[in-house]
């Protein structure tokens, strides 16, 4: 799944609104578990018009040399704005993507405009050449913000889960409701063990209807 941190998204849209012309920046991203996360954008020097944004070869060389080794490894695509025009990949964009794919196995492309419309696509060359358009881009809270919010939720929010209790020789099947969080012991663990299985509210209501 392709995600973008809230700080990277805000930076991207700030670049979009910073000029009435087009503007381009490069995407820095990394794998985080099952997700691929865009965590920053890097802006090269460039000359822009209302229909183009051209860093030029000299500025590109300077930009590349300014990156850390990690940033060079995390360079996976580009962003640029289309001001008032619909977001789409122009002929120049297609040429840029093609040139990037000469040295990269895959490239992310994001195009924005003043209406907050997004064009998101991923091009890959391995194992086969493929283009996926209209890729969902999911906002991801930054780690620092997420840590603060998680601590607040752990303190103030109590979860209740229905647990299916496997019957023993002397028992019939039944359901137990356990609480976690809030005024609980804060362990974050579901009470009980063995073969207990947490059920969703929908599953529990269906089981009661079927009795």
Q: List, for residues 63-83, the tens digit of each pLDDT value.
A: 999 999 999 999 999 999 998
Length of the chain as a residue count: 211
Q: Any idea what DSSP says for residue 89?
A: -
Give the pLDDT of residue 145.
87
Q: Provide the pairing of β-strand 53-54 with 47-48.
A: antiparallel
Mean pLDDT of the chain: 83
Give the pLDDT of residue 204.
52
Q: Any idea what DSSP says for residue 34?
A: T
14 against 167, higher pLDDT: 14
Kindly tell me if the per-residue pLDDT of 194 is higher than 50.
no
Cα–Cα distance for residue pair 144/151, rounded to 1 Å: 11
Kindly tell me if the per-residue pLDDT of 193 is higher than 50.
no
Residue where the block lists tokens 């064009």: 119
Cα–Cα distance for residue pair 100/76, rounded to 1 Å: 9
What's the number of CA atoms in the CB half-sphere (13 Å) around residue 160? 5
Cα–Cα distance for residue pair 33/53, rounded to 1 Å: 34
Cα–Cα distance for residue pair 39/94, rounded to 1 Å: 24
Cα–Cα distance for residue pair 125/198, rounded to 1 Å: 42
Give the pLDDT of residue 158.
85
Cα–Cα distance for residue pair 81/101, rounded to 1 Å: 21
Give the pLDDT of residue 148.
92
Return the percentage of the chain with pLDDT > 90, whole number.
56
Kindly tell me if the per-residue pLDDT of 181 is higher than 80.
no
Kindly tell me if the per-residue pLDDT of 169 is higher than 80.
no
Task: Give mean pLDDT, residues 154-165.
Answer: 79
Minimum mean pLDDT range among 60-64, 130-134, 140-144, 187-191: 187-191
Q: pLDDT class for 33, splitting at 50, 70, 90?
A: confident
Q: Provide the pairing of β-strand 158-165 with 174-181.
A: antiparallel
Residue-range domain boundaries for the chain: 2-144, 154-210
Cα–Cα distance for residue pair 194/168, rounded to 1 Å: 12
The top-level CATH class assigned to 2-144 is: alpha beta
Question: pTM, whole model, 2 decimals?
Answer: 0.72
Q: pLDDT class for 143, splitting at 50, 70, 90?
A: confident
Give the pLDDT of residue 192.
41
Cβ distance 15 to 8 under 8 Å?
Answer: no
Give the pLDDT of residue 196.
47
């Amino acid at each position: 799944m392709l995600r973008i941190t809230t700080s990277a998204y805000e930076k991207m849209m700030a670049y979009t609104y910073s000029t009435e012309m087009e503007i381009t920046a490069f995407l820095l991203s990394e794998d985080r578990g099952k997700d691929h996360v865009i965590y920053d954008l890097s802006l090269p020097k460039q000359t822009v018009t209302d229909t183009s944004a051209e860093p030029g070869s000299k500025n590109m060389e300077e930009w590349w040399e300014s990156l850390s080794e990690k940033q060079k490894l995390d360079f996976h695509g580009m962003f640029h704005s289309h001001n008032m025009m619909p977001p789409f990949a122009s002929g120049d964009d297609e040429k840029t993507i093609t040139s990037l794919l000469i040295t990269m196995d895959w490239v992310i492309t994001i195009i924005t405009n003043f209406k907050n419309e997004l064009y998101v696509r991923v091009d890959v060359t391995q194992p086969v050449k493929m283009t996926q358009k209209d890729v969902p881009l999911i906002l991801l809270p930054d780690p620092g913000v997420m840590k603060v919010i998680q601590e607040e939720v752990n303190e103030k929010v109590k979860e209740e889960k229905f647990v299916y209790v496997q019957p023993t020789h002397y028992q019939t099947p039944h359901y137990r409701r356990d609480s976690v969080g809030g005024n609980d012991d804060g362990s974050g663990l579901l009470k009980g063990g063995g073969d207990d299985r947490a059920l969703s509210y929908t599953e529990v209501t269906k089981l009661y209807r079927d009795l």
